[in-house]
Amino acid sequence: MFSILLFVVLQSLAQSDDLPNIAIFTPTLGTKNTPEGFPVLLRIPQTLIAKSVDREFQHTAPVQQEVLGTKSTGTAHCQGTVVCSIEEKADGAAFSCRISGTVQSETCGTNGPATIQSHACTSYVAHKRFFFDGHKFNSVPTSVLSRTQLTITGVGSTLPRLRGRIVRHVATQRAQQSLAQAEAITQAITDRELCQRIDAEFDSRIFEMNQKLATRLSVLKYFPATGNRIHIRSFTDGLEIGLGTETLSRLSHVASRTPIGDSVELWLQPKNDLIAARPITELLFSTAPAWLSAYLSHNPTLFEPHAKKMTIQPHDGWLVLQLHE
């Protein structure tokens, strides 16, 4: 009975983006074949999150804004370093990203006959937080702290000769007098646009990660829910999703003593001694020979140590399936 379940789990794993797409023999699982509930633990490493989210943030965008009556156009360049960390949560899962960097802009503005060239440099630290709802990661709006320094790099006039000199003189005085106010307004505009950019960029990144995560979580649907509860926790090295009647701390007691690497791990603990009684490869061949033959034709070195796509091994009463990149 467990062998049937193992086959279906392997089928789901084979359809993930870590393994090639192949024709798979699909058995029919009815009520008669549904196995009794037993503990299941899915461990997702921090590296899966980091690969999708933890990379440099940068963009270049046109500037069109009005500050104290001066309409300015130009270009802004934003760059930021991203550092993500998973939160320690015993009940639930969350992680946060710290984005720090600068926004540099060069603009040319007009106010009547006066023209004003300026350079703005905004140093910022933004925070973006994500939480797991049991199916996917969701985000909360970005918060940002920043400081803007505005420098007037040139003042000109569209008028000729004396009138032009008068305009330049008056515009220079007014620009210096209102510099602090213009800085505050520019900072507020930059903060608002920066939050919008970060939200859009990281929502896209988290969408990609949720797609990868969904292929791993899909294996849980093959396990009976009757009498079992879903448990979720996050820790520094990743997150765990447990299915069983016991608490997650008891479910993950053995796994927590085993460091999680870069691979997604599925830990199964059936109630019989099928794993101990039969070698893993024999179990696979006897359970799903059609599927395994097709899979091995694409992966002839599946069980060779130097080129494994998947590792399957017993560990202290559990069956551990590891998916490698």
Q: Is the pTM of this model over 0.85?
A: no
Q: Looking at residues 234-253, what average pLDDT do you find?
A: 78
pLDDT confidence band for 287 (50 / 70 / 90): very low
User: For 132-174, what is each residue's pLDDT tens digit?
Assistant: 887 889 999 999 999 999 999 999 999 999 999 999 999 999 9
User: For 6-23, what is each residue's pLDDT tens digit?
Assistant: 444 444 444 444 333 322
Q: Do residues 75 and 106 make contact, with C-beta atoms less than 8 angstroms apart?
A: yes
51: tokens are: 């690969």
Cα–Cα distance, 181 to 44 (Å, whole number): 49
User: For 83-102, what is each residue's pLDDT tens digit?
Assistant: 999 998 888 889 999 999 99
Domains and CATH numbers, the chain: 2-50+214-323 (no CATH), 51-209 (3.15.10)
pLDDT at residue 271 in the model: 59
pLDDT at residue 51 in the model: 79
Angle between helical axes of 179-217 and 46-53 (0-180°, round to 10) = 130
pLDDT at residue 248 in the model: 66
pLDDT confidence band for 309 (50 / 70 / 90): low
Bridge partner list, 149: 121
Residue of 260, 213, 266, 253 whose CA lies nearest to 93: 213
The lowest-confidence range among 153-167, 208-222, 267-281 is 267-281
Cα–Cα distance, 57 to 72 (Å, whole number): 25
